[in-house]
Protein backbone atom coordinates (compact mmCIF):
# COMPACT_ATOMS: atom_id res chain seq x y z
CA UNK A 1 0.00 0.00 0.00
CA UNK A 2 1.31 3.44 -0.94
CA UNK A 3 2.01 6.13 1.63
CA UNK A 4 -0.43 8.99 1.91
CA UNK A 5 0.69 12.59 2.25
CA UNK A 6 -1.75 15.30 3.31
CA UNK A 7 -0.21 18.75 2.94
CA UNK A 8 -1.66 22.11 3.89
CA UNK A 9 -0.69 25.03 1.67
CA UNK A 10 -1.34 28.11 3.78
CA UNK A 11 -0.64 30.46 0.85
CA UNK A 12 -0.38 34.12 1.94
CA UNK A 13 -2.32 33.69 5.16
CA UNK A 14 -1.39 33.73 8.87
CA UNK A 15 0.98 36.08 10.64
CA UNK A 16 3.13 34.84 13.52
CA UNK A 17 0.45 34.80 16.16
CA UNK A 18 -2.08 33.12 13.86
CA UNK A 19 0.64 30.60 13.00
CA UNK A 20 1.09 29.61 16.66
CA UNK A 21 -2.63 29.28 17.09
CA UNK A 22 -3.06 27.04 14.04
CA UNK A 23 -0.01 24.87 14.76
CA UNK A 24 -1.13 24.40 18.37
CA UNK A 25 -4.58 23.41 17.17
CA UNK A 26 -3.13 20.88 14.75
CA UNK A 27 -0.80 19.40 17.36
CA UNK A 28 -3.75 18.75 19.65
CA UNK A 29 -5.94 17.27 16.95
CA UNK A 30 -3.31 15.28 15.10
CA UNK A 31 -1.26 13.95 17.99
CA UNK A 32 -1.43 10.50 16.46
CA UNK A 33 -1.94 9.59 12.83
CA UNK A 34 -1.60 6.16 11.18
CA UNK A 35 2.03 5.37 10.27
CA UNK A 36 1.40 5.42 6.53
CA UNK A 37 0.07 8.99 6.71
CA UNK A 38 2.41 11.97 6.61
CA UNK A 39 1.04 15.40 7.46
CA UNK A 40 2.90 18.43 6.11
CA UNK A 41 2.19 22.06 6.94
CA UNK A 42 3.41 24.77 4.57
CA UNK A 43 3.14 28.22 6.18
CA UNK A 44 4.50 31.41 4.59
CA UNK A 45 8.27 31.96 4.77
CA UNK A 46 7.98 34.38 7.71
CA UNK A 47 6.33 31.69 9.84
CA UNK A 48 8.57 28.76 8.92
CA UNK A 49 11.10 29.04 11.73
CA UNK A 50 8.42 29.53 14.38
CA UNK A 51 6.30 26.67 13.05
CA UNK A 52 9.44 24.54 12.74
CA UNK A 53 10.32 24.93 16.38
CA UNK A 54 6.74 24.31 17.48
CA UNK A 55 6.59 21.12 15.43
CA UNK A 56 9.75 19.63 16.94
CA UNK A 57 8.87 16.30 18.50
CA UNK A 58 5.55 16.06 16.66
CA UNK A 59 4.92 13.74 13.72
CA UNK A 60 3.99 16.63 11.44
CA UNK A 61 6.49 17.84 8.86
CA UNK A 62 7.25 21.33 7.67
CA UNK A 63 7.24 22.50 4.06
CA UNK A 64 7.84 25.78 2.23
CA UNK A 65 5.63 27.06 -0.60
CA UNK A 66 8.43 27.89 -3.02
CA UNK A 67 12.20 28.32 -3.21
CA UNK A 68 14.85 29.69 -5.55
CA UNK A 69 16.72 27.56 -8.06
CA UNK A 70 19.92 29.36 -6.97
CA UNK A 71 22.10 28.55 -3.97
CA UNK A 72 22.51 32.16 -2.86
CA UNK A 73 23.34 35.56 -4.29
CA UNK A 74 21.94 38.93 -5.28
CA UNK A 75 18.33 37.81 -5.85
CA UNK A 76 16.24 40.30 -3.91
CA UNK A 77 13.16 38.76 -2.36
CA UNK A 78 14.16 35.16 -3.04
CA UNK A 79 14.62 32.34 -0.52
CA UNK A 80 17.15 29.51 -0.86
CA UNK A 81 17.02 25.80 -0.07
CA UNK A 82 19.47 26.36 2.76
CA UNK A 83 17.24 28.99 4.37
CA UNK A 84 14.14 26.82 4.33
CA UNK A 85 16.08 23.78 5.48
CA UNK A 86 17.59 25.67 8.39
CA UNK A 87 14.03 26.68 9.36
CA UNK A 88 13.17 22.97 9.61
CA UNK A 89 11.64 22.21 6.21
CA UNK A 90 11.69 18.73 4.76
CA UNK A 91 9.31 19.52 1.89
CA UNK A 92 8.87 22.32 -0.62
CA UNK A 93 5.92 22.97 -2.93
CA UNK A 94 7.13 23.80 -6.44
CA UNK A 95 5.31 25.03 -9.51
CA UNK A 96 1.99 25.71 -7.82
CA UNK A 97 -0.47 27.03 -10.40
CA UNK A 98 -0.50 30.41 -8.65
CA UNK A 99 3.28 30.59 -9.19
CA UNK A 100 2.74 29.64 -12.83
CA UNK A 101 -0.15 32.07 -13.31
CA UNK A 102 0.98 35.18 -11.42
CA UNK A 103 4.75 34.83 -11.41
CA UNK A 104 5.34 33.34 -14.84
CA UNK A 105 6.91 30.07 -13.67
CA UNK A 106 7.34 27.57 -16.48
CA UNK A 107 8.09 23.84 -16.47
CA UNK A 108 11.78 24.45 -17.17
CA UNK A 109 12.22 26.68 -14.12
CA UNK A 110 10.17 24.31 -11.96
CA UNK A 111 12.42 21.48 -13.14
CA UNK A 112 15.53 23.47 -12.16
CA UNK A 113 14.03 24.15 -8.74
CA UNK A 114 13.14 20.47 -8.32
CA UNK A 115 16.72 19.46 -9.11
CA UNK A 116 18.04 21.99 -6.61
CA UNK A 117 15.61 20.78 -3.94
CA UNK A 118 16.57 17.14 -4.49
CA UNK A 119 20.28 17.94 -4.43
CA UNK A 120 19.63 19.62 -1.08
CA UNK A 121 17.73 16.68 0.45
CA UNK A 122 14.40 18.47 0.27
CA UNK A 123 11.36 16.58 -0.98
CA UNK A 124 9.62 18.56 -3.71
CA UNK A 125 5.84 18.52 -4.05
CA UNK A 126 5.62 19.35 -7.74
CA UNK A 127 2.30 20.69 -9.04
CA UNK A 128 0.72 20.14 -12.43
CA UNK A 129 -2.77 20.86 -13.69
CA UNK A 130 -4.83 22.07 -16.61
CA UNK A 131 -6.88 25.27 -16.87
CA UNK A 132 -10.62 25.30 -17.51
CA UNK A 133 -10.08 26.34 -21.13
CA UNK A 134 -7.67 23.44 -21.62
CA UNK A 135 -10.12 20.96 -20.10
CA UNK A 136 -13.00 22.30 -22.15
CA UNK A 137 -10.79 22.26 -25.23
CA UNK A 138 -10.24 18.53 -24.71
CA UNK A 139 -6.46 18.85 -24.28
CA UNK A 140 -6.12 17.91 -20.61
CA UNK A 141 -4.03 14.81 -21.37
CA UNK A 142 -1.73 16.69 -23.69
CA UNK A 143 -1.19 19.51 -21.17
CA UNK A 144 -0.57 17.13 -18.26
CA UNK A 145 1.81 15.02 -20.35
CA UNK A 146 3.87 18.06 -21.34
CA UNK A 147 3.97 19.36 -17.76
CA UNK A 148 4.92 16.01 -16.22
CA UNK A 149 7.67 15.41 -18.77
CA UNK A 150 8.91 18.98 -18.36
CA UNK A 151 9.01 19.16 -14.58
CA UNK A 152 10.51 15.68 -14.15
CA UNK A 153 13.06 15.90 -17.00
CA UNK A 154 16.44 14.51 -16.07
CA UNK A 155 15.44 13.28 -12.61
CA UNK A 156 16.98 9.94 -11.73
CA UNK A 157 15.19 6.95 -10.34
CA UNK A 158 16.64 7.70 -6.93
CA UNK A 159 15.54 11.37 -7.18
CA UNK A 160 12.04 10.14 -7.96
CA UNK A 161 11.78 8.29 -4.67
CA UNK A 162 11.69 11.69 -2.92
CA UNK A 163 9.31 13.36 -5.37
CA UNK A 164 5.64 13.97 -4.66
CA UNK A 165 3.37 15.02 -7.52
CA UNK A 166 0.29 17.14 -6.90
CA UNK A 167 -2.40 17.10 -9.57
CA UNK A 168 -4.31 20.34 -9.18
CA UNK A 169 -6.77 21.23 -11.92
CA UNK A 170 -6.52 25.02 -12.00
CA UNK A 171 -10.29 25.38 -12.35
CA UNK A 172 -10.79 23.58 -9.04
CA UNK A 173 -8.42 25.69 -6.95
CA UNK A 174 -10.14 28.02 -4.53
CA UNK A 175 -13.32 27.87 -6.59
CA UNK A 176 -15.28 25.37 -4.56
CA UNK A 177 -15.46 23.22 -7.71
CA UNK A 178 -13.81 19.87 -7.16
CA UNK A 179 -12.89 17.46 -9.88
CA UNK A 180 -15.14 14.45 -9.51
CA UNK A 181 -13.30 11.48 -8.02
CA UNK A 182 -13.51 9.84 -11.46
CA UNK A 183 -12.08 12.89 -13.26
CA UNK A 184 -9.22 13.11 -10.78
CA UNK A 185 -8.56 9.35 -10.88
CA UNK A 186 -8.29 9.47 -14.67
CA UNK A 187 -5.55 12.10 -14.60
CA UNK A 188 -3.75 10.44 -11.68
CA UNK A 189 -3.66 7.23 -13.68
CA UNK A 190 -2.22 9.11 -16.65
CA UNK A 191 0.49 10.66 -14.46
CA UNK A 192 1.42 7.26 -13.05
CA UNK A 193 1.61 5.85 -16.57
CA UNK A 194 3.88 8.71 -17.65
CA UNK A 195 6.21 8.05 -14.71
CA UNK A 196 6.32 4.38 -15.66
CA UNK A 197 7.29 5.35 -19.19
CA UNK A 198 10.02 7.69 -17.96
CA UNK A 199 11.26 5.07 -15.45
CA UNK A 200 9.47 1.80 -14.69
CA UNK A 201 6.28 0.41 -13.12
CA UNK A 202 7.60 -0.42 -9.66
CA UNK A 203 8.75 3.18 -9.29
CA UNK A 204 5.51 4.60 -10.71
CA UNK A 205 3.54 2.33 -8.38
CA UNK A 206 5.17 3.79 -5.31
CA UNK A 207 5.13 7.47 -6.33
CA UNK A 208 2.82 9.56 -4.18
CA UNK A 209 0.36 11.55 -6.32
CA UNK A 210 -1.75 14.03 -4.39
CA UNK A 211 -4.95 15.65 -5.55
CA UNK A 212 -5.53 19.35 -4.87
CA UNK A 213 -8.39 21.72 -5.64
CA UNK A 214 -11.18 22.45 -3.15
CA UNK A 215 -10.50 19.40 -1.00
CA UNK A 216 -12.81 19.66 2.01
CA UNK A 217 -13.73 17.41 4.94
CA UNK A 218 -16.88 16.31 3.12
CA UNK A 219 -15.25 15.28 -0.17
CA UNK A 220 -11.87 14.06 1.09
CA UNK A 221 -12.81 10.45 1.85
CA UNK A 222 -14.24 9.82 -1.60
CA UNK A 223 -11.30 11.41 -3.40
CA UNK A 224 -8.79 9.57 -1.23
CA UNK A 225 -10.51 6.25 -1.85
CA UNK A 226 -9.57 6.36 -5.55
CA UNK A 227 -6.86 3.89 -6.55
CA UNK A 228 -4.32 6.42 -7.73
CA UNK A 229 -5.00 9.27 -5.29
CA UNK A 230 -2.43 9.12 -2.52
CA UNK A 231 -3.09 12.25 -0.58
CA UNK A 232 -4.19 15.83 -0.84
CA UNK A 233 -2.74 19.29 -1.20
CA UNK A 234 -5.20 21.45 0.68
CA UNK A 235 -5.56 25.23 0.43
CA UNK A 236 -8.61 26.92 1.96
CA UNK A 237 -9.57 24.04 4.24
CA UNK A 238 -6.12 23.87 5.86
CA UNK A 239 -6.48 27.29 7.47
CA UNK A 240 -8.64 25.94 10.28
CA UNK A 241 -7.35 23.17 12.52
CA UNK A 242 -10.72 21.41 12.63
CA UNK A 243 -11.17 21.12 8.89
CA UNK A 244 -7.57 20.18 8.13
CA UNK A 245 -7.62 17.53 10.86
CA UNK A 246 -10.92 16.20 9.49
CA UNK A 247 -9.30 15.78 6.05
CA UNK A 248 -6.36 13.92 7.59
CA UNK A 249 -8.78 11.72 9.49
CA UNK A 250 -10.63 10.93 6.27
CA UNK A 251 -7.71 8.71 5.21
CA UNK A 252 -8.86 5.12 5.58
Q: Is 144 helix (H, G, I), strand (E, B) or coil?
A: helix
Residue 152 and residue 115 in contact, taking contact as beta carbons nearer than 8 Å: no
Spatial separation of the C-alpha atoms in residues 61 and 210, rounded to whole Å: 16
**Judged by CB, which is closer to ligand PGA: 207, or 214?**
214
Spatial separation of the C-alpha atoms in residues 123 and 89, rounded to whole Å: 9
Active-site residue, 70 included: no
Spatial separation of the C-alpha atoms in residues 197 and 204, rounded to whole Å: 9
Report the nearest approach of ligand PGA to the CB of residue 18 (Å). Answer: 17
Report the nearest approach of ligand PGA to the CB of residue 132 (Å). Answer: 14
DSSP state for residue 104 in the 8-state scheme: -
Which of 98, 130, 134, 168 is catalytic? The answer is 168
**Number of Cβ within a 10 Å radius of residue 142:** 12
Tell which one of 5, 9, 30, 68 touches ligand PGA (CB under 6 A).
9
Does position 184 interact with ligand PGA (CB under 6 A)? The reply is: no
Q: State how far the alpha carbon of 186 is from the alpha carbons of 43, 80, 142, 176, in Å.
A: 30, 35, 13, 20
Does position 105 interact with ligand PGA (CB under 6 A)? The reply is: no
The CB-nearest residue to ligand PGA is: 235
Q: Convert residues 187-216 into a mask of x (bound to ligand PGA by CB under 6 A) and - (unbound).
A: -------------------------xxxx-
Does position 169 interact with ligand PGA (CB under 6 A)? The reply is: no
Active-site residue, 168 included: yes
Scan residues 214-243 and list those touching ligand PGA (CB under 6 A): 214-215, 233-237
Q: Which of 82, 48, 49 is nearest to 65 (CA)?
A: 48
Does position 87 interact with ligand PGA (CB under 6 A)? The reply is: no
- Within a 13 Å sphere around the CA of 217, how many CA atoms are in the beta-carbon half? 10
Which residues are near ligand PGA by CB under 6 A? 9, 168, 173-174, 212-215, 233-237
Positions marked catalytic: 96, 168
Amino acid sequence: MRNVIIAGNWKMYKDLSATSELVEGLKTRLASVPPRVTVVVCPPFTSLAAAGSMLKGSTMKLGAQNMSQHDEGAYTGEISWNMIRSAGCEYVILGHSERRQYFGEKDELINAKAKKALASSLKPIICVGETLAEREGGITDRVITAQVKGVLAGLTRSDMSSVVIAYEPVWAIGTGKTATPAQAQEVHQLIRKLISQMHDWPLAEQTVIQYGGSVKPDNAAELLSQNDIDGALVGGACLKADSFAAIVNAVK
